[in-house]
């Protein structure tokens, strides 16, 4: 197995969106610059500088534009395909500090001088956040399970049962959910935050700042809260006193040096991008050279649009159905932001989460169109809708919308089930996660023929065939004891979602601790489908490596699932390797440890943690089924949220 750091630490620039491509082999370096490129060699007093970034940035275009490449073994670089403009160009790399910016234009040969870092402290300022965050102290395994306050208990809250549970919250499923930890803004306590008696008190104040405060408060509340504040305070105190990361990053190697990054700053200062989409993942030739559409989630109802050919940006207004749809503008702000004060910079009714192109070039969004409680009658008990008969729904927090670039019309679509992520299958059904107790789908063929949203949609409860009769019938409810005569309904819902191209089954991840992945086979009557559940090998003695808590996931064309784990692993699950029965009373999650293979993410582990893995908190993962990235078919790629990177598994 070989990891490729497809992006590396260049995202320190903080640009809104990244597109990455491979530029072939080192022969590219030998070409003289043409009219659309800048080329040269990077040297320092130590000689040629290999594996460092050359960054070209311009404000001459309609959007701020940046291109980044990596030097080869001889320190050579080529900045290709540059639009006509004047560029500021500089060198950045591990072991260096940023060089002075020089001016250049396409067609020039420009040699650059790198600047070695004067000391370890200066060098460490360019390290990815994971190298700083891994300094955070983690309670020892011996402190779990918590038995309550001293003197009667061991000093750990009773809700904390294991070190792995703690790590899940301080990483992927809690503190790292929405922003990076370990960057300068979080490893330091800025004076603008206020005056406090201790750093622990500063952290208690910090997580209650701004319109996202309730999410941060909820995450810290899942830990031993005061212990967590003390540990975060201790971390920032040690950083303030000059403690440096105990590990150092490696410069890009091999094919990592062939990456070319093109970045556009195409949103507004008060809005953010949660995601973006440029094509139909089933056929990545759809919308070739076309516009890219973003999802601004809680920040605004204005969908950002980028034309990468003209470097221009525009916006599309996402619409709701009901005027009383709630807005993020009304989010509580417990403490003023050091940047925005008490200004409610977010104002979104639609809270658009995820976009996806269909084969006709339309863009589908998971978007809110109404208040959650305004559920349509056909969703509820007593309806004749097939899915409502099987499992009626009373509310949903986010629904669907579609934008047609040809007509320039945005159409909000009501669904009975909630939505979060979305993927099309080979039958033009749009499958969505975020439905809570159900998995939902929307049939494009029915919608295009009738525009009847009621007929086009359906959903199914997540029911495991624990009685082993091969069909769905009466089931126990979540939390109830298993009944040998009944099936079992699951409590968790889909977070990631992906149709399996090999057999048409629908797979998804269920976040939480220890988390799981689900498999649903729609069959002839999807409303009565059965679900299979597979948990990562948290403590299975037969497993070579233990892991837990999947978040983002995707699937390759052979049906192998890839998921980012909070344990610091990139995990694959191959159902074809399963040896035991996949239904019946024992098929409740732990029936196939042999299906899992866990690859530790690059980067350091927390110093206090001895288990396999790293301090990486990967948010999502994809599989490049069609070799769009140039590494081959079916290459899984995970976000390195703590590492300013993408991680691809090659030859895994």
Residue recorded with tokens 């990053």: 249
Of 627, 588, 595, the closest CA to residue 465 belongs to: 588
Residues in the chain: 652
3-state SS, 296-357, equals CECCECEEEEEECCCCEEEEEECCCCCCCCCCHHHCCCCECECCCECCCCCECCCCECEEEE
- Whether the Cβ atoms of residue 494 and residue 356 lie closer than 8 Å to each other: no
> What's the pLDDT score for residue 175?
87
Strands 621-624 and 76-79, by their bridges, are: unpaired
Structure token digits, residue 129: 């956040």
pLDDT in tens, 354-410: 999 999 999 999 999 999 999 999 999 999 999 999 999 999 999 999 999 999 999
Residue recorded with tokens 């950045």: 92
- Whether the Cβ atoms of residue 464 and residue 588 lie closer than 8 Å to each other: yes
CB < 8 Å & 24+ apart, contacts of 627-636: 628/284, 629/6, 629/20, 629/21, 629/22, 630/21, 630/22, 631/4, 631/22, 631/255, 633/557, 634/556, 634/557, 634/558, 634/560, 636/554, 636/556, 636/562, 636/570, 636/572
> What's the pLDDT score for residue 31?
54
Can you name the residues that pair with 277 across neighbouring β-strands?
A: 293
Edge-to-edge strands, sheet with 2-5: 2-5, 645-650, 635-640, 621-624
Can you name the residues that pair with 44 across neighbouring β-strands?
A: 47
Rounded mean pLDDT, 134-141 = 97
Strands 312-317 and 115-116, by their bridges, are: unpaired
**Sign of CA pseudo-dihedral 570, 576, 580, 585:** positive
Q: Does residue 1 carry a pLDDT above 70?
A: no
Q: Does residue 16 carry a pLDDT above 50?
A: no
pLDDT category of residue 33 using cuts at 50, 70 and 90:
confident
Can you name the residues that pair with 412 across neighbouring β-strands?
A: 401
Alpha helix positions (H), 405-473: 444-450, 453-456
- Find the helix or strand (DSSP H, E) in which 476 lies: strand 475-476
Of 97, 104, 6, 103, the closest CA to residue 49 belongs to: 97
CA distance 517 to 506: 11
DSSP track, 365-398: EEE--S-TT---GGGSTT---HHHHHS-----S-
Can you name the residues that pair with 64 across neighbouring β-strands?
A: 265
DSSP track, 216-229: HHHHHTTS-HHHHH
Which phi and psi (to 5°) does residue 143 adopt? -85, 0
pLDDT category of residue 26 using cuts at 50, 70 and 90:
very low
- Find the helix or strand (DSSP H, E) in which 206 lies: helix 199-206
Rounded mean pLDDT, 321-333 = 95
Q: Where are the domains of the chain?
A: 2-127+249-256, 136-240, 462-652
3-state SS, 150-189, equals CCCCCCCCCCCCCHHHHHHHHCCCCCCCCCCCCCHHHHCC
> What's the pLDDT score for residue 223?
94
- Find the helix or strand (DSSP H, E) in which 448 lies: helix 444-450
pLDDT in tens, 277-293: 999 999 999 999 999 99
Strands 363-367 and 550-555, by their bridges, are: unpaired
- Whether the Cβ atoms of residue 406 and residue 290 lie closer than 8 Å to each other: no
Q: Does residue 9 carry a pLDDT above 50?
A: no
Structure token digits, residue 417: 């089930």
- Whether the Cβ atoms of residue 434 and residue 418 lie closer than 8 Å to each other: yes
CA distance 508 to 487: 20
pLDDT in tens, 238-266: 999 999 999 999 999 999 999 999 999 99
- Whether the Cβ atoms of residue 591 and residue 573 lie closer than 8 Å to each other: no
Which phi and psi (to 5°) does residue 384 adopt? -90, 0
Establish whether the linkage from the previous residue to 80 is cis, with ω within 30° of 0. no
CA distance 438 to 432: 10
3-class secondary structure, 81: coil
Rounded mean pLDDT, 25-34 = 59
pLDDT category of residue 544 using cuts at 50, 70 and 90:
confident
As a whole number of Å, the end-to-end CA separation of the chain is: 4
pLDDT category of residue 30 using cuts at 50, 70 and 90:
low
Q: Which residues contact 118 (CB under 8 A, 6 or more apart)?
A: 97
Residue recorded with tokens 């940006």: 313
Q: Does residue 8 carry a pLDDT above 70?
A: no
- Find the helix or strand (DSSP H, E) in which 200 lies: helix 199-206
Indicate the CATH number of 2-127+249-256 among 3.50.50.60, 2.60.40.1120, 2.40.50.140, 1.10.10.10: 2.60.40.1120
Q: Does residue 126 carry a pLDDT above 70?
A: yes
pLDDT category of residue 542 using cuts at 50, 70 and 90:
confident
Which phi and psi (to 5°) does residue 156 adopt? -105, 140
CA distance 143 to 153: 10
> What's the pLDDT score for residue 509?
98
CA distance 27 to 279: 30
Structure token digits, residue 27: 């022969």
pLDDT category of residue 273 using cuts at 50, 70 and 90:
very high
- Find the helix or strand (DSSP H, E) in which 449 lies: helix 444-450
- Please give the distance of CA 366 from its chain centroid, rounded to a whole number: 16
Q: How high does pLDDT run on average in the chain?
A: 93
The angle formed by the CA atoms of residues 485, 488 and 492, to the nearest 5 degrees, is 175
Q: What is the reported pTM?
A: 0.94
pLDDT in tens, 183-220: 999 999 999 999 999 999 999 999 999 999 999 999 99
Q: Which residues contact 594 (CB under 8 A, 6 or more apart)?
A: 542, 577, 578, 579
CA distance 570 to 5: 13
Q: Count the neighbouring beta carbons within 10 Å of the beta carbon of residue 249.
A: 24
> What's the pLDDT score for residue 179?
82
- Find the helix or strand (DSSP H, E) in which 621 lies: strand 621-624
């Amino acid at each position: 197995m070989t990891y490729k750091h497809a992006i590396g630490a260049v995202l320190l620039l903080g640009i809104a969106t990244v597109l990455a491509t491979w530029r072939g082999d080192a022969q590219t370096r030998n070409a003289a610059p043409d009219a659309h490129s800048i080329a040269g060699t990077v040297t320092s007093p130590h000689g040629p500088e290999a594996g460092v970034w050359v960054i070209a940035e311009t404000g001459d275009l309609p959007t701020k534009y940046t291109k980044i490449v990596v030097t080869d073994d001889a320190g050579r670089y080529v900045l290709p395909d540059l639009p006509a403009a004047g560029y500021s160009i500089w060198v950045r790399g591990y072991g260096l500090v940023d060089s002075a910016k020089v001016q250049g234009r396409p067609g020039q040969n420009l040699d650059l001088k790198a600047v070695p870092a004067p000391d370890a402290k200066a060098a460490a300022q360019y390290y990815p956040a994971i190298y700083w965050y891994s300094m955070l102290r983690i309670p020892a395994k011996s402190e779990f399970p918590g038995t309550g306050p001293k003197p009667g208990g061991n000093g750990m809250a009773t809700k904390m049962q294991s070190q792995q549970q703690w790590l899940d919250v301080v990483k992927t499923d809690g503190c790292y959910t929405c922003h990076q930890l370990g960057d300068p803004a979080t490893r330091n306590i800025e004076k603008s935050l206020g005056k406090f008696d201790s750093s622990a008190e500063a952290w208690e104040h910090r997580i209650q700042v701004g319109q996202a405060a309730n999410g941060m408060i909820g995450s810290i509340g899942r830990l031993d809260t005061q212990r967590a504040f003390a540990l975060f305070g201790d971390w920032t105190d040690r950083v303030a006193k000059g403690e440096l990361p105990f590990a150092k990053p490696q410069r890009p190697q091999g094919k990592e040096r062939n990456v070319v990054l093109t970045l556009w700053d195409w949103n507004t200062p008060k809005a953010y991008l949660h995601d973006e989409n440029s094509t139909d993942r089933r056929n990545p030739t759809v919308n070739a050279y076309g516009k890219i559409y973003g999802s601004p989630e809680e920040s605004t109802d204005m969908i950002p649009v980028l034309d990468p050919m003209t470097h221009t940006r525009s916006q599309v207004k996402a619409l709701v159905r009901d005027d009383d749809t709630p807005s993020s503008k009304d989010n509580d702000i417990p403490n003023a932001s050091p940047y925005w004060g008490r200004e409610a910079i977010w104002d979104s009714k639609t809270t658009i989460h995820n976009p996806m192109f269909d084969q006709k070039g339309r863009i589908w969004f998971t978007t809110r169109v109404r208040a959650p409680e305004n559920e349509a009658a056909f969703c509820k008990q007593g309806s004749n809708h097939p899915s409502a008969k099987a499992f009626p729904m009373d509310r949903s927090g986010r629904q669907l919308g579609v934008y047609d670039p040809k007509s320039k019309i945005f159409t909000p679509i009501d669904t009975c089930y909630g939505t979060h992520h979305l993927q099309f299958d080979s039958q033009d059904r749009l499958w969505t996660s975020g439905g809570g107790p159900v998995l939902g789908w929307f049939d494009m063929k029915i919608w295009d023929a009738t525009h009847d949203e009621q007929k086009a949609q359906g959903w199914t409860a997540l029911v495991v065939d624990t009685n082993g009769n091969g069909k769905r019938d009466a089931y126990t409810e979540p939390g109830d004891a298993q009944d040998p005569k009944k099936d079992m309904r699951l409590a968790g819902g889909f977070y990631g979602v992906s149709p399996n191209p090999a057999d048409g089954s629908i797979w998804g991840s269920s976040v939480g601790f220890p988390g799981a992945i689900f498999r649903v086979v729609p069959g002839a009557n999807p409303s009565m489908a059965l679900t299979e559940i597979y948990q990562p090998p948290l403590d299975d003695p037969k497993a070579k490596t233990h892991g837990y808590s999947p978040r983002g996931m995707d699937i390759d064309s052979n049906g192998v699932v890839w998921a980012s784990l909070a344990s610091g692993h990139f995990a694959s699950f191959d159902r074809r390797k399963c040896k035991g029965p996949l239904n019946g009373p024992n098929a409740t999650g732990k029936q196939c440890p042999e299906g899992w293979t866990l690859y530790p993410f690059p980067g350091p582990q927390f110093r206090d943690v001895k288990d396999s893995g790293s301090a990486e908190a990967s948010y999502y993962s994809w599989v490049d089924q069609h070799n769009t990235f140039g590494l081959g078919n079916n290459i899984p790629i995970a976000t390195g949220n703590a590492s300013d990177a993408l991680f691809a598994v090659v030859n895994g």
